[in-house]
C-alpha cells in the first residue's frame, strides 16, 4: 500500500540515492587502494569516484585535506538530495542533520565557555550540521546568551528544554551535555519515524527503528564502558541512556549498575549480537579495565568499536534491499561516512608507513 504513492514524491530521490550507493567503493576498489605506495597513487585510484573533488588538491596532500575533500562530495550530494526532497522526506533529512548540529553546538558552547573567538569555530563545524542561523550563535558572548539563542534559533531547542539549563552548560562537562542532547535527539528521531503519518507502519519506520535502536544500544554500551574510572556517577550515567533500543529497559538498567566490563557483558547477554561481539573481542574474560580489549596498538584484533561499525554498515547495506523507504538516505549517508573514514585510514596508514594495519577498514560491498 505504502508503495502506491511513494514514487509520486520520492521516486526521484530514491533513484538518485540508489545511484549514489552504487558509486560507493567496493571491496575490489579498497584492495586496490591498499596497494598504493604513496598518497598520490591513492589519489589516482580514487579518481573515478572522487575525481572532481580531488582534482584541486596539491600533490601529496595531507590526510586531513583528503578527508575534507571527500566529505565535500558527500555534502554536495546530500544538499542536492535535500533540495529535491519534499514533505516527510525533507523533514526526515533535517532530522538526519540534527546529529551533526549537536556536535556543532557543543563546539560553540566549548568555544564560548573559553571565550574564544567563535567565528573561527565556524570553520571547524561539520558542514552537514550547518544551519542558517548558526552565525547568529557566534554573536553570543556569554553562556546565557548562547543558551537563549540556541533555544530560539536552532531546531535543537526541544533537546535542551527540560533537560539542560544554562547553568548546566557552564557546570557540566561538555561531553555530558553532548550526550544528553544526543539521547534526546535519538528518542525524538525514534518517535518521529514511528508516528509521522507518512512513515508509521512503512518499511521506513521498520528499518529506521532497527538502525536507531542499534545506535541507542551502541551509545549506551559505549558510554558505560567509557565512564569507568571517571567522575561520571552511575545516576548521571543512567540519564544518558536513550529510553528505547533492544537493551531497554532491562539491559539499560543492568548497564546503569555495571561496575566493570564483566557487568556490561552480563547486561548485554540477552542480545545475541552484542554478546557475540563481546566474545569476539575477548572482553569480559579479563576485566582489567577498558582500553586493553585489543591489547594496545599494533594488534590486528578488532575492537568493540570496529564491531559496531561493522554492524552499522551491515544494517545500512540491508536497508537498500527494501523499497519505498527513506531509510536508504540515512543508510547512504552512513555508508559514505564510513567510506570517508576508510579512505582516511588507508591514507593515514600509507602516509605513516604502517602498512601492516592497513586492512583495518570496513567494507561491506
Pick from 218, 162, 223, 158: which is nearest to 192 by CA?
A: 158
Place of cell 570496513: 362
CB of 64 to another protein, least distance (A): 8
Decide if 236 contacts 272 (C-beta within 8 A): no
Residue 90 vs 113, nearer CB to another protein: 113
Interface with another protein (CB under 8 A), residue from 18, 119, 124, 355: 124
- Least Cα distance to 277 among 209, 214, 343, 211 occurs for 214
For position 2 contacting another protein by CB under 8 A, the verdict is no
Cα–Cα distance measured from residue 241 to residue 223, given in angstroms and rounded to the nearest whole number = 8
72, 94, 103, 168: residue in contact with another protein (rule CB under 8 A): 103
DSSP-based three-state secondary structure for 43: helix
Kindly state whether residue 304 participates in binding another protein, applying the rule CB under 8 A: yes
In the block, residue with C-alpha cell 548562547: 146
Q: Distance between CA 345 and CA 358 in Å, rounded?
A: 7
Nearer to another protein by Cβ, of 84 and 292: the residue is 292
**Contact predicate 207/201, CB 8 Å:** no
Show contacts with another protein in window 213-242 (CB under 8 A): 218-219, 222-223, 225-227, 229-232, 240
From candidates 14, 92, 111, 336, binder to another protein by CB under 8 A? 111
Q: Which cell numbers in the block locate residue 47?
A: 579518481
According to CB under 8 A, which one of 66, 93, 254, 290 is a site residue for another protein? 290
Please name every residue paired with 283 in a beta bridge, in sequence order, or none if there are none. 286
CB of 215 to another protein, least distance (A): 10
User: With contact defined as beta carbons under 8 Å apart, do 364 and 337 qualify?
Assistant: no
Q: Per CB under 8 A, which of residues 181..200 are in contact with another protein? A: 182
User: Which of 107/164 has CB closer to another protein?
Assistant: 107
Contact present, 189 and 95 (Cβ < 8 Å): yes
- Asked if residue 116 binds another protein (CB under 8 A), the reply is yes
C-alpha to C-alpha distance for 30 and 360, rounded to whole angstroms: 11
d(CA 279, CA 275): 6
**Contact window for another protein (CB under 8 A) among 8-16, 112-120, 136-144, 321-329:** 112-120
- Least spacing, CB of residue 308 vs another protein, in Å: 9
Among 88, 202, 344, 363, binds another protein (CB under 8 A): 344
Q: Does 348 bind another protein (CB under 8 A)?
A: yes
State yes or no: residue 305 binds another protein (CB under 8 A): yes
In the complex, what is the shortest distance from the CB of residue 232 to another protein, in angstroms, rounded to a whole number?
A: 6
- The 10 Å Cβ neighbour count of residue 165 is 14
Residues 245-284 that bind another protein (CB under 8 A): none
Q: Is 283 helix (H, G, I), strand (E, B) or coil?
A: strand
Which residue has 546565557 as its cell numbers?
144
Check residue 98 for interaction with another protein (CB under 8 A). no
Report whether the peptide linkage leading into residue 249 is cis, meaning its omega lies within 30 degrees of zero. Answer: yes
Stretch that binds another protein, among 12-20, 28-36, 130-138, 347-355 (CB under 8 A): 347-355
Shortest spacing between CB 290 and another protein, in angstroms: 5
364 burial (CB, 10 Å; 0-12 / 13-18 / 19+) is: middle
User: Cell numbers 595531507 label which residue?
Assistant: 62
Q: Which is nearer to another protein, 107 or 150 (CB)?
A: 107
What is the binding site for another protein (CB under 8 A)? Answer: 62-63, 103, 106-107, 110-111, 113-114, 116, 121, 124, 126, 173-176, 178-179, 182, 218-219, 222-223, 225-227, 229-232, 240, 290-291, 293, 296-298, 303-305, 337, 341, 344-345, 348-349, 351-354
Amino acid at each position: 500500500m505504502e508503495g502506491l504513492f511513494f514514487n509520486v514524491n520520492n521516486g526521484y530521490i530514491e533513484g538518485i540515492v540508489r545511484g549514489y550507493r552504487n558509486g560507493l567503493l567496493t571491496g575490489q576498489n579498497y584492495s586496490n587502494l591498499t596497494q598504493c605506495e604513496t598518497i598520490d597513487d591513492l589519489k589516482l585510484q580514487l579518481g573515478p569516484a572522487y575525481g572532481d573533488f580531488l582534482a584541486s588538491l596539491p600533490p601529496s596532500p595531507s590526510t586531513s585535506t583528503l578527508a575534507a575533500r571527500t566529505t565535500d562530495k558527500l555534502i554536495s550530494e546530500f544538499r542536492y538530495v535535500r533540495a529535491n526532497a519534499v514533505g516527510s522526506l525533507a523533514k526526515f533529512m533535517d532530522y538526519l542533520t540534527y546529529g551533526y548540529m549537536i556536535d556543532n553546538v557543543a563546539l560553540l558552547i566549548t568555544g564560548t565557555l573559553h571565550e574564544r573567538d567563535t567565528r573561527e569555530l565556524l570553520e571547524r563545524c561539520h558542514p552537514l550540521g550547518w544551519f542558517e542561523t548558526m552565525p547568529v550563535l557566534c554573536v553570543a558572548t556569554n553562556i546565557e546568551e548562547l543558551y537563549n539563542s540556541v533555544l530560539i534559533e536552532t531546531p535543537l531547542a526541544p533537546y535542551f528544554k527540560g533537560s539542560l539549563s544554562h547553568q548546566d552548560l557552564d557546570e557540566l562537562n561538555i561531553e555530558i551535555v553532548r550526550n544528553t542532547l544526543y539521547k534526546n535527539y535519538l528518542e525524538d528521531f525514534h518517535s518521529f519515524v514511528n508516528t509521522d503519518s507518512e512513515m508509521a507502519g512503512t518499511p521506513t519506520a521498520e528499518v529506521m527503528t532497527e538502525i536507531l535502536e542499534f545506535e541507542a544500544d551502541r551509545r549506551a554500551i559505549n558510554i558505560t564502558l567509557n565512564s569507568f574510572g571517571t567522575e561520571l556517577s552511575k545516576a548521571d550515567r543512567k540519564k544518558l541512556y536513550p529510553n528505547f533500543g533492544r537493551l531497554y529497559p532491562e539491559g539499560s538498567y543492568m548497564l546503569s549498575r555495571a561496575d566493570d566490563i564483566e557487568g556490561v557483558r552480563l547486561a548485554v547477554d540477552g542480545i545475541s549480537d552484542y554478546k557475540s561481539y563481546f566474545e569476539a573481542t575477548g572482553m569480559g574474560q579479563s576485566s582489567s579495565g577498558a582500553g586493553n580489549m585489543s591489547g594496545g596498538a599494533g594488534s590486528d584484533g578488532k575492537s568493540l568499536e570496529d564491531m559496531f561499525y561493522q554492524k552499522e554498515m551491515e544494517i545500512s547495506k540491508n536497508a537498500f534491499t527494501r523499497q519505498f523507504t527513506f531509510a536508504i538516505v540515512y543508510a547512504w549517508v552512513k555508508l559514505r561516512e564510513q567510506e570517508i573514514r576508510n579512505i582516511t585510514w588507508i591514507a593515514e596508514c600509507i602516509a605513516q608507513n604502517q602498512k601492516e594495519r592497513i586492512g583495518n577498514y570496513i567494507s561491506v560491498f
